[in-house]
Structure 1
Amino acid sequence: MNAPTERLNPASENFNPLVDFSGLPRFGELKPEHVAPAVDALLAEGRATIERALGAPVSWDSFVAPLEDANERIGRAWGQVAHLHAVLDSPELREAYNANLPKLTQYWTELGQNQQLFEKYQALAASPEYVTLGSARRRIIDNALRDFRLGGAELAPEKKARYAEIQEELARLGSRFSENLLDATKAFSIVVDESRTGGIPDDVLAAAREAAEKDGKRGWKFTLHAPSYMPVMQYADDRQLRQTIYRESATRASEFGKAEWDNTPLIARIVELRRELAQLLGYRSYAEVSLVPKMAESPEQVLGFLDDLAQRARPFAEKDVAELREFARRELGLDPLEAWDVAYASEKLRVQRYAFSEQEVKQYFPEEVALQGLFRVAETLYGVCIYAAEAPKWHEDVRFYEIRDAAGMRVGQFYMDLYARDTKRSGAWMDDAITRRRKGATLQTPVAYLTCNFSRPVGNRP
C-alpha cells in the first residue's frame, strides 16, 4: 500500500483506523481527518493491484482473488465513512465525505471500463478452470462480466469519458439530495402549549417535553422525525397541528422551503442523466438498466404486475376509503377528510370497530421484551443463539450482538442502532460492515448494521 509506514502500524500513534482490517471497525477512534489519507492509500493499492492483475496468468488465484481482496478493503473502509455520514452526520464528516466521494466514483468507473481487465475475465470464463470453480466463484465471475458491460467497458473512448462524467455527477447529486432532506427535516420544529396536546399519548408527550426543555423552552416540542411526526398524525386532536406537521413533512426539501435545500432541480437532473447513461449503454430507459441484475425481465412486465395488482386491490381500497370518510363525517365532524386526517380518523375507527388501540397494546411490548421475542424467533428458526457483546461504537445508544450456532461457533455479528437522532437520516435499513467471504482456509465473519428510528426511552419508561 502506498502510504506512510506509521499509518499502517497499529502500534503507531499516527495509525489510521480506517486501514485496520484485522477486526471490527474502530469507530471510537475514527475521525473525519482520517478519511482522505485512508482513501488515497487504499485507492493507490487498488490501482497497483489492477496493474499486477493485468500481467498475471488467467486464473482465479492469480488475478481475481487479489482484486477481490483489494476492492473489499476499499469497500469496508468507505462503508464505515458512508455509514457515519448516514447516522452521525456532522459538518466535518460531511465535508470529508463529499471531498472523497469523487475519488471513489472515479476508481469504480475506471475499474468498470478497463477493457483489458474485462477481456481477462472473459478469458477466465471461457477457460477450463471456470467449470472447476465452485458456484460462488463462478457467480462472482459472471457478475463481474455483467458489471463490466453496465460500467461501459465496451463503449468507444469518447463515450467512456462521458459515462464517467455522468457517474461522478450522479454521485454528487445523490449525496446532496440526502443531505438536503436531512437538513430540511432537522430545521423544522414546533413548540406548543398544553391546550394543543390533547389525544397525544403520555410517552410521546414526555419525549416532546424533554425535547423542549433541552432547547430551554417551555411546552412540548414536535419535529418531523418519525417518532414525533407519526404519533401527532395518528393521535393529536388538534387538527391544525396535524395539518401543520403534515404540510411541513410533505414539502421538505422542495420549492416551498429554502432554495439551497430544494431537491426539485436535483431530481430533474438525476432523471436526465440516468436517461443519457442508459442510452449510452444501448438501453431505452434507465428502468431497463436497473432490471439487468434483477428477476423481472422488462419494465413492461413490472408495470403489468403493478397494474394487475392495482386493479384487484382498488375496489377494496375504495370501499375502505368510503367507510372512513363516512365515519369521519358522522363521528368526528371531519368533512372533507383531508390527508392529515387519515391516520387520525383510522385510529378512531379502529378503536370503535375493534376495541383495539396500538397505544394500549404497546404497554405489553416494552423494548427489551420485544427484542428478546424477536431474537427467540430467529434463534428458533435458524438454530442459533444471539448474545450481547462488546465492540467500538459510534454512539452510546448503539448495541452490539454476536450470533453463534449450535456448536457455539460464531457465525455473525451485528450492530443495532434503534433511536432517532437529529444527525441521523430517516427510515430503517440494513447494510453490511464486513462481508462473509473465504480468506484462505478461514471464513470471514459477516457483520451487519441494523438501523432504525424509534423513540428512545424517556425517564424510566421502557
Structure 2
Amino acid sequence: MTALCVTNDLQDVLLLPDFSSIAPAQLAAKLDKQLAHNQHEIDNLLNTKSLSYEQLVPTLEQLGDELDRLWGPLSHLHGVSNKDDVRAAFDECLPKLTAYATQMGQNKALYLAFVELLDSQEFGHLSQPQQQFVKLQIKDFQLSGVGLSPQKKIEYGQLKQQMAELSTRFSNNLMDATQAWSKHVTDSDDVLGLPDSALKQAKENAKSKNLEGYLLKLDFSCYHAVMTFAAHTQLRQEIYQAFNTRASDQGPHGGKFDNTQVMEELVGLRHKMACLVGFDHYSDYSVATKMADSGRAVEDFLLDLAKACKPQAQIDMAQLQEFATDQGGPSPLAAWDIAYYSEKLRQKRYDLSQEQLKPYFALPQVQSGLFDVVKRIYGIQVTQVQGVSTWHEDVSFYQVAYLGKAIGYFYFDLFARDQKRGGAWMDECRNRQIKASGQLQLPVAYLVCNFAPQVGDTPVLLTHGEVTTLFHEFGHGLHHMMTNIDVAGVAGINGVAWDAVELPSQFLENWCWQEESLRLFAKHYQTNATLPEEMLQKMLAAKNFQSGMFVMRQLEFALFDLRLHMNYNQDAPQSVQAVLDQVREEVSVIKAPAWNRFQHGFAHIFAGGYASGYYSYLWAEVLAADVFSRFEEEGIFNPSTGAALWKEITGQGGSRDAMDLFVQFMGRKPNVHALMRHKGLANKVTQGANNES
C-alpha cells in the first residue's frame, strides 16, 4: 500500500498529539492552567448581554477544543497504555475535569444565554445544525441540574465526582484482574485441541517471561481459543472460571480486585442523581437523550424480542445438548462446555470449522478489503500516512480522502498487549469544526481492537468474528470522519442519540456476510486463492447457527442493565447479583454457575457510557438491518445508495433527530422484520415484536 509522509507543517496543522513527548506527571498543572483560562474566558464572554450565536458558540467550541487537546491524549493513554505514571496522572486530573464539567453544566448565566438565543429572532436564521446544537445544549443544562438550588447543585457535583471515581476504579480493577492471571503449561497434552495460532501465541507469551512451554492468559483471543477448542474439560473450566470471576469476590483472585461494592455504590449514586434532577429512576434519565421514549418502552421492546426469539433459543440449546450427549459429553452441559460442543456441532452440521476459515482472513488482506469496501460504498480512499507520533510501535495512521481531498484521519491500534484494556472501541482525537482562524479542523479518530499480535513470519489470522469487529469499529470511525457538519457539538457522533450511535457500525458488519464483498478480501494468505465456493456457501449457511441463543444472550445483558437502573429502590436496594439472577431466570437458556460474576467485568455499563443503554446494540441493530435492506434491493455497492446514506445519515452527525434521519433515508419508520430475517428468525416474529421501534 502506498503511504503518504506527513511533514512537520501538516502534523502541526492537524494538531496531532506528540505522544513521544507527553509527560503525564506535568499534565495536572497544565490542566489547572487551562481550566482557569477557560473559566476566565467564559466569565468575560457572559459580561456581554444578548450574545449572538457567533459571539457565543465559536468561543465555547475553541475553548473545548483546547481542553480536548490537553486532556484527550491522557484519557486515551489510560485505555491503551495504562502505565503507573499515566494512571496516577489520570486519577489526579479526573476530579478536576469532572468538577469543571459540572460547573459548566450548572452555569445559569451560560444556560440563559442559550435560552435567549433560542427565543431570539436570530434563531430562525441559523442553520439546522446550529439550531439543533442550541436545543441540545439547553437540554444538557437541564439534565445537569442547572435549575437546582445552590445546595442541590453542590450535591449533584459531589455525585458526579463519586461516579467518575467509581467508574475509573471499576476499569482499573478489571484490567488489573485480567492481567494478574495466567496459567503456565509445560505438557503439550494439556493444551490438546488448541489451534496452531493459539499455541504459537501461548509459546510466545511463555518466552516473553523466560518460561518453557505455554502461557495462557485472559486476553479474549486466548480465552476464546481455549473455550472453543481445548479438549480437556478441566482446562476449559479453569479458564472459564478465571475469566468470569475477574474483579470479584470469587475465583482465583477472589476479593483482591473486587468490584462488588463499586457496582452497588455506582447504581445507587446514579439513582440519586436522576432523582435530583426530576426523574423517577436513572433509566428515564438515560433515555432522555435517546430515541426511545422511556425505560418502560425499552423494556417492552426487549421483552417483545425475547418472546419472539426464546422458542428458537430453546430449540438451539436442546439440539446442542442432544448432540453433546451423542458425543459422550455431559448432561446437562456446563457453561464451559457450550462453546466447545457448539463448534463441534457447527463442524458436523456445516462441515466447516472456524479454524479452516482463518487462513482466508489474514489481517493485511482483510484491512485492504475493508478499505476497498468503503471505497465502493462511499467513494472514499484510505491511505497510510508515515511519520506520525504514536504511543506504540504497532500503531499506524491513515488518511481518509474523497475525490483526492482529505476529510479525516485515524489511528489503528489493533493488537492486545499488557497495560491495554480489553475490547474494541472508537474514540475521538479531533472533532470537525471551524477554528477561530476560520480554518476547518478535520476529524481524527482512535480505532482500537485487541487481536492477538503477529508471531514469527505468519501474518495475523483473524476469526470471522474478529473480521466483523474490525468492520464494526471502522463503521464508528466513518461516522466520526465522514461528517459534513462544521458545528462541533453535533458533528460526527456528537449529539447523536446513544441508541442510534451503533447504526453505522452494525450496518458496516453486513459486508462481512455478502458474497460480493467477501470475494474482495477472503483470500488465502499463502496462495492468494479466493475462499473456495464450497467453503463460502458453508460459511453463509452457518451464519445463523444458534442465532436464537445469541440474541437471548444480548437480551440478558440489556434487560439486566435496564432493570438494574429502572427498578432500583433506595430504601431496599437489591444486590446487583440478585437482579442478574432474576433476569437469567426469565430469559437465559444457558445456566450459569452460582459463582459466575459476569457483571464484575461488564465495563460497558459500569465504566463505558452504556449505563441503562446497553439495549442500544439491539435497538440500533434493528435500524442497521433495515437500512441495509435498501442496499439489498438496490445493490450492495450501488454508489447512488451509498451517496444517499452519506448525505442523509452518516454525514449528518447529531444535526437532526435520529428518527428523522432514518425516515429521510428509508421513507418510513423502522421495524424489526429485516433484523429477524437476517437472524433467520423471521417466521418467529410475534405481532408485538413487529411493532415499530
TM bucket normalised to smaller? over 0.9
Post-superposition shift, 1:238? 1.1
Contact 2:31 2:93 in 1 (8 A): yes
1:103-252 correspondence to structure 2 within 5 Å? 103-192=96-185, 193-252=187-246
Point out which structure has higher relative CO (alpha carbons under 8 A, 6+ apart).
2
Post-superposition shift, 1:38? 2.3
Post-superposition shift, 1:77? 2.2
Letter in structure 2 aligned against 1:205: L
The range that moved more, 410-419 or 210-219, is 210-219
Inter-partner Cα distance in structure 2 for 1:306 and 1:335: 30
1:15 alignment partner in structure 2:
none
Contact 1:56 1:62 in 2 (8 A): no
What is the RMSD computed on CA atoms of the aligned residues?
Answer: 1.4
Inter-partner Cα distance in structure 2 for 1:173 and 1:111: 22
2:518 alignment partner in structure 1:
none
2:39 alignment partner in structure 1:
47
2:343 alignment partner in structure 1:
347
Distance 1:433 1:332, change over 3 A: farther
The range that moved more, 252-261 or 372-381, is 252-261
Letter in structure 1 aligned against 2:395: V
Inter-partner Cα distance in structure 1 for 2:263 and 2:15: 39
Matched, 1:315 2:311: yes
The range that moved more, 284-293 or 62-71, is 62-71
2:362 alignment partner in structure 1:
366
State which of 381, 398, 401 in structure 2 corresponds to 1:401: 398
Post-superposition shift, 1:21? 8.0
Inter-partner Cα distance in structure 2 for 1:340 and 1:422: 26
1:4 alignment partner in structure 2:
none
1:296 alignment partner in structure 2:
292
1:72-104 CA-to-partner distances (Å, cap 9, x unmatched) read 221232121111000100111100100110000
Post-superposition shift, 1:335? 2.3
Post-superposition shift, 1:27? 1.1
Inter-partner Cα distance in structure 1 for 2:420 and 2:305: 34
Inter-partner Cα distance in structure 2 for 1:248 and 1:75: 37
Matched, 1:264 2:260: yes
1:356-408 CA-to-partner distances (Å, cap 9, x unmatched) read 111111101211111001110011111111001021100001011101111x1
Contact 1:383 1:405 in 2 (8 A): yes
Post-superposition shift, 1:22? 5.8
Matched, 1:446 2:440: no
Inter-partner Cα distance in structure 2 for 1:397 and 1:227: 18
Distance 1:260 1:190, change over 3 A: closer
1:409-420 correspondence to structure 2 within 5 Å? 409-420=405-416
| 1:56 partner SS | coil
Inter-partner Cα distance in structure 1 for 2:325 and 2:217: 29
Matched, 1:284 2:277: no
| 1:98 partner SS | helix
The range that moved more, 150-159 or 29-38, is 29-38
| 2:312 partner SS | helix
Matched, 1:85 2:78: yes
Inter-partner Cα distance in structure 1 for 2:218 and 2:165: 25
Letter in structure 1 aligned against 2:87: R
1:75 alignment partner in structure 2:
68
Count residues in correspondence: 443
Inter-partner Cα distance in structure 1 for 2:193 and 2:182: 19
1:419-443 CA-to-partner distances (Å, cap 9, x unmatched) read 0112111111101100111225432
Give percent identity, aligned residues only. Answer: 40
1:17 alignment partner in structure 2:
none
| 1:282 partner SS | coil
Matched, 1:375 2:371: yes
Contact 1:87 1:424 in 2 (8 A): yes
Letter in structure 1 aligned against 2:447: L
Inter-partner Cα distance in structure 2 for 1:56 and 1:171: 34
Contact 2:14 2:442 in 1 (8 A): no
Inter-partner Cα distance in structure 2 for 1:451 and 1:346: 29
Post-superposition shift, 1:315? 0.5
Inter-partner Cα distance in structure 2 for 1:62 and 1:204: 58
2:330 alignment partner in structure 1:
334
| 1:337 partner SS | coil
| 2:19 partner SS | coil
Inter-partner Cα distance in structure 1 for 2:328 and 2:412: 41
Letter in structure 1 aligned against 2:324: A
Contact 1:203 1:461 in 2 (8 A): no
Inter-partner Cα distance in structure 1 for 2:405 and 2:33: 34
Contact 1:21 1:73 in 2 (8 A): no
Q: Which 5+ residue runs of structure 2 have no aligned equivalent?
A: 1-7, 460-693
Post-superposition shift, 1:333? 2.2
Inter-partner Cα distance in structure 1 for 2:261 and 2:454: 39
1:56 alignment partner in structure 2:
48
Letter in structure 2 aligned against 1:56: T
Distance 1:331 1:22, change over 3 A: closer
1:292-324 CA-to-partner distances (Å, cap 9, x unmatched) read 111000011100000000000001000000000
Letter in structure 1 aligned against 2:330: L
| 1:104 partner SS | helix
Inter-partner Cα distance in structure 1 for 2:316 and 2:14: 56
Post-superposition shift, 1:56? 2.2
How high is the TM-score relative to the length of structure 2? 0.63
Inter-partner Cα distance in structure 1 for 2:226 and 2:318: 23
Post-superposition shift, 1:457? 1.0
